[in-house]
Amino acid sequence: MKAVILAAGRSERLKPFTETRAKPMIRIAGHPMLEYSLRGLADAGVTDVLIVVHHQSATLTSHFEHGARLGLSIEYIRQDPLDGIGAAVRRCERQLGGDPFLLVYGDVLATGNPFESLLGQYTETGGAVASLSLPPSSAEFGNVYVDQSMRITRLVEKPSNPQVSNYVFAGFYLLPASFLGMLAEARNDMVLAFQRLVQEGKLYGSLWDGEWIDITRPWQILDANRLVMAAWNRAEIHTTVKLEGAVHIEGPAHIEEGVRIGAGSIVKGPCYIGRDSYIGNNTLIREFTALGPESVVGYGTELKNCVLQGRSILGRLSYIGDSVIGERVRLGTGVTTVNHFDDGRAVAFVSEEGELSTGHDKLGAFIGDDVVIGARNVLAPGTRVRSGARVDDLISVTSIL
């Protein structure tokens, strides 16, 4: 059996991070989000993988190559033009060869291994299987109804009562080859094809009771990071890590090879420090912080619940809280991300769609790749900085003659 992973879309809602990378390459708890699905497939014994790519595909293909590092055989299918999810699936028809296949959305993340439960349900029923989740709110998803045998009896694309939570598709499916013909008859409309499976009584649900998230907005990177790290229960510190003096490490900290940590620093897990990173003296790294590879953190800086994609330099005496920072970012001395309002109101996020409520009362900045922000700048809650932007040092005195 092969797996088809959908990873072609532009994901405009996740700007600035999708301006310069394929969405599944956003790092969550130190690893590209796609890696979690790929490792899950390998653990479930599914080693032949087709990945449909388009937007910023080189960032994905150069990282995973042909899958040998993960024990997989990966083939890439280019979707050009971007003409919808159904068309993306049908582009894999020749490679699938008439066999049933797993379908995986590249922008969802689950703890544990949902593929094993899908395969188990398929063995029992012999029909198509969709992994189902029960989120706190299902207003943004199609709602799914099942009978006592877990046969899906109804699919409502746009629920009329958004206050009622119900089962939703979790983005993992096991589908028969005949589904491709249904897609063709439905003119590549995925919803219509699924509706036909439901009408014929051939679609079953596999309830996933583990944690699950569909990452569609920048602040959900922080939610996903917390979801993954919350499951960690022990520290993993590489033997090459160097502690340059008295360093206090507590909780399930994951620290990769080649990391150096300066004297007086405190590291509180769960957290992640990527390979070849340098942590300056007297730095405080608090829970749910993830630093990508080759990160540099200056003296006396505090990091709290933030995700750095890697290869960035944070100046000394800075505070970065509840924020996501891209690759190759340079922050000057004393940069501060303010992460809340004094009146406790939810932080808004400004996008091309207008001002959006995040539902979070603590949220910092979202800084794209290759950004330079000069010394002493203060960023308001919910600030978004496009990739490649430059902000000068905040200088109050130039010369006194």
Structural domains counted in the chain: 2
15: nearest Cα among 297, 389, 372: 389
Average predicted confidence (pLDDT) for the chain: 93
My answer on whether 52 and 117 are in the same domain is yes
- Radius of gyration for the chain, computed over Cα atoms and rounded to the nearest angstrom: 23
Strand partners, 260: 242, 278
Are 103 and 182 in the same domain? yes
Is pLDDT of 311 > 90? yes
Provide mean pLDDT across the span 240-259.
97
Q: Please indicate, yes or no, whether residues 198 and 313 belong to a single structural domain of this protein.
A: no
211 and 241 both lie in a single domain: no
Read off the pLDDT of each residue in 99-126 and give the average, rounded to a whole number: 91
Predicted local distance difference test score (pLDDT) of residue 126: 80
Strand partners for 169: 132
Q: What is the pLDDT of residue 161?
A: 61
Judged against a pLDDT cut of 70, whether residue 232 lies above it is answered with yes
Asked whether residue 274 is domain-assigned, the answer is yes
Mean pLDDT along residues 211-219:
92
Query: Residue 209: its pLDDT value, please?
Result: 82
Q: In this structure, is residue 111 part of a structural domain?
A: yes
CA dihedral 10, 16, 19, 23 (to 10 degrees): -50
CATH number at residue 300: 2.160.10.10
Contact criterion met (CB below 8 Å) for 113 and 40: yes
**In the prediction, which pLDDT does 338 show?**
96
HEC letters along 69-123: HHCCEEEEEECCCCCCHHHHHHCCHHHHCCCCEEEEECCEEECCCHHHHHHHHHH
CA angle 198, 202, 208 (to 5 degrees): 80
b/e 90-106 (16+ beta carbons within 10 angstroms → b):
bbbeeebeeebbbbbbb
Task: Report residue 72: phi and psi, to 5°.
Answer: -120, 165
Q: How much of the chain, in percent, has pLDDT values that exceed 90?
A: 81
Same domain, 191 and 295: no
Q: Could you tell me which of 28, 96, 97, 19 has the C-alpha nearest to residue 59?
A: 19
Q: Are residues 261 and 127 in the same domain?
A: no
- Say whether both 148 and 13 belong to one domain: yes
CATH number at residue 58: 3.90.550.10
Q: What pLDDT was estimated at residue 164?
A: 56
Last residue of a domain, one of 163, 182, 216: 216
42-56, 285-299, 343-357: which range is least confident on average? 343-357
Least confident stretch, 163-172, 280-289, 338-347:
163-172
State pLDDT tens for residues 47-103: 999 999 999 999 999 999 999 999 999 999 999 999 999 999 999 999 999 999 999
Q: Indicate whether 229 belongs to any domain.
A: no
Backbone phi, psi, residue 194, to 5°:
-65, -40
Q: pTM for the whole thing?
A: 0.94
Residue 349 has pLDDT above 60, yes or no: yes
> Which domain does 342 fall in, by range?
236-391
Are residues 297 and 375 both part of a single domain?
yes
Supply the pLDDT for residue 354: 85
13-23 pLDDT, tens digit each: 999 999 999 99
Give residue 401's pLDDT.
86
Report pLDDT for 133. 87
Lowest-pLDDT range of 60-64, 353-357, 361-365, 372-376: 353-357
Note whether 157 and 243 are same-domain residues: no
Structure tokens at 276: 């070849």
Q: Are 297 and 282 in contact (CB under 8 A)?
A: no
